[in-house]
């Protein structure tokens, strides 16, 4: 099922929680919306689910309008399943009973409902726990029950609102892999909401970066990481330093070095531009820019560091293959950079 939003706005009082948002999620895509807390992500999800109605704009599922000037299709008629942080399972029902519930609610006999539920339990690899009650499951297992129940509810689109936020980091990584596997096996369209950019980059086919009710950029994780359109996106996704410098003919002048940079654009007439330097653009080099490490942390196999360079407005972020300490003097060379669009 495809999802299309056109100029959707939703305000609470004076505050526009969702402000003129337009995007399209193709059928079967894993689409992540990522942005800081309070930027309007949950409101966006509730609008698509039909739990809120837009003040302006239109929402269409599979090309058919479900919210807008033509009226509202109620949530239960949208074939959209929602998974929240809290799993909202029936505590008195077993795993199988929870997943069969949507079928029984539609009038199937218990035996028929259980039989259909079995297929969904296989999709989430929970057949072995079919007889347990939710209280005897881990957070990740409960999540899988909630997903299976969405499928039983005939959802063609699954909306997930920070579903992994309550899990411990170890389980989180495992669940990321599982959610992606579930998506690929079930053939649903997934809209996944998170404030965690690392999670979005790892999971998404396409991601949308949201801030203050607006979508700032939509693209593959690689596009958004490598070619951010504005400062907010550059700073929110991944590590790096933003420096202003003169750019002409694809070359920036930083601390006396000539650095080849991309993104200057057609007819870039030179002048000071904002340039993003990712850790991959910064290497150790004898006789390079004189710098001092201001932060170092071990990340298993490599070290993430920050380096202060006198005269540069921000410390450079870099990765080191060998141990280092705060205060170490190093020489650095910049090997590339991305020039933000004018006005970005």
Report if residue 194 touches Mg ion, rule: CB under 5 A. Answer: no
Report if residue 38 touches ligand ADP, rule: CB under 6 A. Answer: yes
Per-residue interface string for the shown chain with ligand ADP, residues 10-29, x marking contact by CB under 6 A? --x--x-x------------
Report if residue 197 touches ligand ADP, rule: CB under 6 A. Answer: no
Among 32, 39, 137, 224, binds ligand ADP (CB under 6 A): 39
Closest distance to ligand ADP from the beta carbon of 158 (Å): 17
Closest distance to ligand ADP from the beta carbon of 12 (Å): 3
Report if residue 86 touches ligand ADP, rule: CB under 6 A. Answer: no
**Stretch binding ligand ADP (CB under 6 A), from 36-44, 163-171, 232-240, 262-270:** 36-44
Closest distance to Mg ion from the beta carbon of 49 (Å): 13
Report if residue 42 touches Mg ion, rule: CB under 5 A. Answer: yes
**Stretch binding ligand ADP (CB under 6 A), from 41-49, 53-61, 134-142, 239-247:** 41-49
Report if residue 40 touches ligand ADP, rule: CB under 6 A. Answer: yes
Cβ distance to ligand ADP smaller for residue 18 or 121: 18
**Stretch binding Mg ion (CB under 5 A), from 17-25, 38-46, 135-143, 317-325:** 38-46
Cβ distance to Mg ion smaller for residue 165 or 284: 165
Three-class HEC string of the chain: CCEEEEEEEEEECCEEEEEEEEEEECCCCEEEEECCCCCCHHHHHHHHHCCCCCCEEEEEECCEEEECCCCCCCHHHCCEEEECCCCCCCCCCCHHHHHHHHHHHCCCCHHHHHHHHHHHHHHCCCHHHCCCCHHHCCHHHHHHHHHHHHHHCCCCEEEEECCCCCCCHHHHHHHHHHHHHHHHHHCCEEEEEECCHHHHHHHCCEEEEEECCEEEEEECHHHHHHCCCCHHHHHHCCCCEEEEEEEECCEEEECCEEEECECCCCCCCCCEEEEEECHHHEEEEEEEEEEEEEEEEECCCCEEEEEECCCCCCCEEEEECCCCCCCCEEEEEECCCEECCCCC
Cβ distance to ligand ADP smaller for residue 12 or 90: 12
Report if residue 98 touches Mg ion, rule: CB under 5 A. Answer: no
Binding residues vs ligand ADP (CB under 6 A) = 12, 15, 17, 35, 37-43
Binding residues vs Mg ion (CB under 5 A) = 42
């Amino acid at each position: 099922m495809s999802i299309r939003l056109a100029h959707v706005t939703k305000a609470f009082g004076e505050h526009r929680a969702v402000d003129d948002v337009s995007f399209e999620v193709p059928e079967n895509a894993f689409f992540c919306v990522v942005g800081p807390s309070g930027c309007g992500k949950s409101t966006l999800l509730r609008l698509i689910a039909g739990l809120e109605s837009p003040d302006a704009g239109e929402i269409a599922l599979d090309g058919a309008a479900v919210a807008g000037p033509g009226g509202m299709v109620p949530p239960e008629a949208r074939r959209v399943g929602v998974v929240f942080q809290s799993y909202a399972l029936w505590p008195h029902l077993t795993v199988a009973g929870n997943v069969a519930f949507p079928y029984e609610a539609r009038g199937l006999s218990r035996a028929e409902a259980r039989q259909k539920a079995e297929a969904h339990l296989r999709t989430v690899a929970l057949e072995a726990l079919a007889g347990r009650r939710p209280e005897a499951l881990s957070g990740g297992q409960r999540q899988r029950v909630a997903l299976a129940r969405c499928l039983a509810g005939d959802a063609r689109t699954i909306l997930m609102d920070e579903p992994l936020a309550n899990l411990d980091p170890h389980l989180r990584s495992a669940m990321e892999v599982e959610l992606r596997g579930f998506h690929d096996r079930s053939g649903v369209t997934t809209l996944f909401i998170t404030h965690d950019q690392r999670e979005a980059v790892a999971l998404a086919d396409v991601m949308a970066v949201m801030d203050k009710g607006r979508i700032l950029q939509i693209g593959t994780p690689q596009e958004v990481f490598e070619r951010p359109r504005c400062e907010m996106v550059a700073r929110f996704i991944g590590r790096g330093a933003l420096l202003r410098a003169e750019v002409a003919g694809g070359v920036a002048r930083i601390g006396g070095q000539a650095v080849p940079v991309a993104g200057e654009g057609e007819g870039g007439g030179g002048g000071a531009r904002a340039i993003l330097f990712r850790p991959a653009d910064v290497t150790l080099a004898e006789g390079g820019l004189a710098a001092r490490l201001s932060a170092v942390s071990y990340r298993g196999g490599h070290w993430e560091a920050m380096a202060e360079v006198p005269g540069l407005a921000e410390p450079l972020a870099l990765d080191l293959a060998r141990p280092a300490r705060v205060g170490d003097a190093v020489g650095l060379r910049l090997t590339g950079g991305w020039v933000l669009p004018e006005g970005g």
